[in-house]
């Protein structure tokens, strides 16, 4: 495993580390097997969140007795002082530790800056938790380039890490991430596999690792096999050849910018549609020559794209501004319901 320093935090992290979103679709036994694999392959940076339902709890149980082998990061979407104070306490309890290495303001949009950094804001609670030795470093995660720019340009004295989507088809944050690095902030690439939309994970992880804008990437992993797959890929993080760069260009052309990253922020759907899984099944139908399998899995979903009543509630929650209603119409047309 290649290790790199996460900006001025001084933390030495595996260049390809662990994103904990998929743990919420897992169980306690599988989480233990995932953490066993992380330990075996030296993937030492574990990122989770208060918002990932059971992820913190399952990881906490699996980390019992080996907490010191890992660096832990979590995050909360609350913006007020009392709420953040409470959430840091819950994260510590869930993760069964008295210290979390990095704690982040989760998915911070421009409109929340004044509250989060105000006198009664979440940042104050994080600064206090840091002074009390409960957390080591304070970070921010963002999905909009404007929010990322504001953090880097105006808050680099207080914020030590930034996490932002970065992959073959999403490099709109590259320039500002590079500036973040120059300012000593640690840079973390979320969604290095574009939410599972990039089939060639070796190429995808090498693309991110070769960037001078990124310190580490945290692909989401939900099984020991996925840990092994990414760890094996991480053994070779050599820069891309001319031919591979052309391959990336072709992928950009094919995928465009309107694709679901499977982050789940759009939930809950008014009529119960599992939006990312509807899109995923359509991807399988189109890309993997697994049409019959995809039709079977789609049939097993509780609610289908064709049931969308076009209320639009999900679209206001999607950080990528996807036209979910239109996209679901496409899914319904492809499957027929």
Q: Which is nearer to ligand SF4, 11 or 331 (CB)?
A: 331
Q: Which is nearer to ligand SF4, 28 or 309 (CB)?
A: 309
CB of 283 to ligand SF4, least distance (A): 12
Q: Per CB under 6 A, does 109 bind ligand SF4?
A: no
Q: Per CB under 6 A, does 313 bind ligand SF4?
A: yes
Stretch that binds ligand SF4, among 82-90, 125-133, 219-227, 309-317 (CB under 6 A): 309-317
Stretch that binds ligand SF4, among 100-108, 114-122, 221-229, 269-277 (CB under 6 A): 269-277
Q: Per CB under 6 A, does 21 bind ligand SF4?
A: no
Binder among 262, 281, 294, 304 for ligand SF4 (CB under 6 A): 262
Q: Per CB under 6 A, does 25 bind ligand SF4?
A: no
Q: Per CB under 6 A, does 162 bind ligand SF4?
A: no
Stretch that binds ligand SF4, among 27-35, 126-134, 197-205, 314-322 (CB under 6 A): 314-322
CB of 185 to ligand SF4, least distance (A): 25
CB of 271 to ligand SF4, least distance (A): 5
Stretch that binds ligand SF4, among 63-71, 162-170, 228-236, 324-332 (CB under 6 A): 324-332
State the SS3 of the chain: CCEEECHHHCCEEECECEECHHHHHCCHHHHHHHHHHHHHHCCCEEECCCCCCCHHHHHHHHHCCCHHHCEEEEEECCCEHHHHHHHHHHHHHHCCCCCEEEEEECCCCHHHHHHHCCCCEHHHHHHHHHHCCCEEEEEEECCCHHHHHHHHHHCCCCCCEEEEECECCECCCHHHHHHHHHCCCEEEEECCCHHHCCCCHHHHHHHHHCCCCCCEECCECCCHHHHHHHHHHCCCCCCCCHHHHHHHHHHHHHHCCCCCCCCCCCCCCCCCCCHHHHHHHHHHHHHCCCHHHHHHHHHHCCCCHHHCCCCCCCHHHCCCCCCHHHHHHHHHHHHCC
Binder among 23, 129, 231, 260 for ligand SF4 (CB under 6 A): 260
Tell me which residues touch ligand SF4 (CB under 6 A): 260-266, 269-271, 273, 275-276, 308-314, 318, 320, 322, 324-325, 328
């Amino acid at each position: 495993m290649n290790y790199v320093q996460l900006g001025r935090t001084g933390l030495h992290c595996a260049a390809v580390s662990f994103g904990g979103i998929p743990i919420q679709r897992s169980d306690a036994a599988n989480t233990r097997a995932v953490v066993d694999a992380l330990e075996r392959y030296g993937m030492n940076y574990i990122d989770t969140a208060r918002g990932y339902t059971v992820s913190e709890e399952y990881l906490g149980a699996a980390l019992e007795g080996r907490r010191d082998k890992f660096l832990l990061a979590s995050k909360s979407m609350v913006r007020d002082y009392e709420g953040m104070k409470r959430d840091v306490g819950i994260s510590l309890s869930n993760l069964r530790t008295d210290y979390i290495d990095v704690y982040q303001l989760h998915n911070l949009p421009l409109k929340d800056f004044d509250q989060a950094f105000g006198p009664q804001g979440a940042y104050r609670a994080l600064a206090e938790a840091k002074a009390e030795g409960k957390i080591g470093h304070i970070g921010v995660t963002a999905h909009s380039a404007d929010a990322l720019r504001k953090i880097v340009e105006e808050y680099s004295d207080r914020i030590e890490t930034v996490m932002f989507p970065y992959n073959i088809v999403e490099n709109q944050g590259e320039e500002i991430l590079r500036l973040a690095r120059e300012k000593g902030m640690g840079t973390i690439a979320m969604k290095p596999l574009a939410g599972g939309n990039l089939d060639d994970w070796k190429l995808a992880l090498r693309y991110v690792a070769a960037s001078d804008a990124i310190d580490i990437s945290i692909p989401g992993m939900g099984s020991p096999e996925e840990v092994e797959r990414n760890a094996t890929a991480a053994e070779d993080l050599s820069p891309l050849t001319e031919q591979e760069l052309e391959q990336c260009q072709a992928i950009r052309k094919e995928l465009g910018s309107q694709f679901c990253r499977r982050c789940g922020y759009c939930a809950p759907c008014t009529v119960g549609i599992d939006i990312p899984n509807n899109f995923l099944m359509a991807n399988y139908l189109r890309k993997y020559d697994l049409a019959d399998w995809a039709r079977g899995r789609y049939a097993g979903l509780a609610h289908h794209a064709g049931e969308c009543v076009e209320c639009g509630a999900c679209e206001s929650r999607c950080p990528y501004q996807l036209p979910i209603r239109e996209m679901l119409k496409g899914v319904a047309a492809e499957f027929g319901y």
